[in-house]
Chain A
């Protein structure tokens, strides 16, 4: 199997999984309870459709596709930032004062990233717009990764009972950590072969990792912490998912 075929296979597997998870959420009535997942998946599928349209009309080497790719990437990372904010809100459900503080922190982080991204490009005045988007995306990915880690630590510290939230946060962590590393490599290698390979194989793999983790969290992990262990005969729904019926 050639590199292009593997890359296509990974990308299409990711799209199918995203669409599958979206359908699963809608069919099982999670659309309201887990609206942030639905929002992110719709945004992601919208981005895929836009990129496919631009690729079909302008070609892979065109500046239109380049601009479309990175602009949609920026929109996607902003959508992910919204998901992080919503998870924070979920974690602070019983602590409104903490949520006030977190809200301020999130706003400050977003403004700080915009300023840092702009000033770090002062030496590339000829390509400010295009490089700004790449730089901003990279910084926002990394900031979201740090925020996701803070969120994870907060769920541990505050002893948040929502088991599912912890798993969803881990999925988001994979989605942020992979691309943040890939984008940093892309920036360091300045478009060399290694960074292209990262974009081709690594990004779809991280996407698949996040979707599978979310699938697992939604389908198998209960929303709230389990009651104390009881010695009863019936297997719990959570564990029963491991059974393959004979």
Chain B
């Protein structure tokens, strides 16, 4: 442990870093600020290269946020979270071992934080596994979604590229080299073949009814069948009759 403790300040806004650095100087003159970082990944790199005793870490930052960065550096340095407003985070801190500072940092409150840090510097940093997991849950970014289906499809309409919400799409149909995307108002083209597309669409939202056709379930108006048992899907507001191939007949079994 060096004679004078060292710290790194992490915030995406320069003004906020300046503010904290200036106020730390008043509250704890011996503390050396050896680095400033503007995002989570910069912070991790800086902690690895400079090995500070303390990291002041802003929670909400673009890209990798403070919670994610904290997971990587909690064993290497004592972490003090900095936040402008987050009642959930504050509630969690109150049960946890680490400290937090509200922006703009009030000198009296900052003095308390520095006092706590001074008394803890001799100990190893708390890995905070439990707290970080809890914070992550509260802020809603820790859990990995089971499967991300497409919510938007990037398609060309005439000469322009557009993002079309899947809820607007009536059906996809393979046509020559392209796949046609049909909405109530217009048609668009994508290059992705039906075979690849079907894996990326939510099977609750879209059904494949033919080698060349995928239809949005909610857009189906009726299914008719002729005397040979051949099924045809009619989509709301469209004249097309979409053929159901034999292997997908089971989708529309009669109740």
> Do the two shown chains form a genuine complex with each other?
no
Interface residues of B (CB under 8 A from A): none
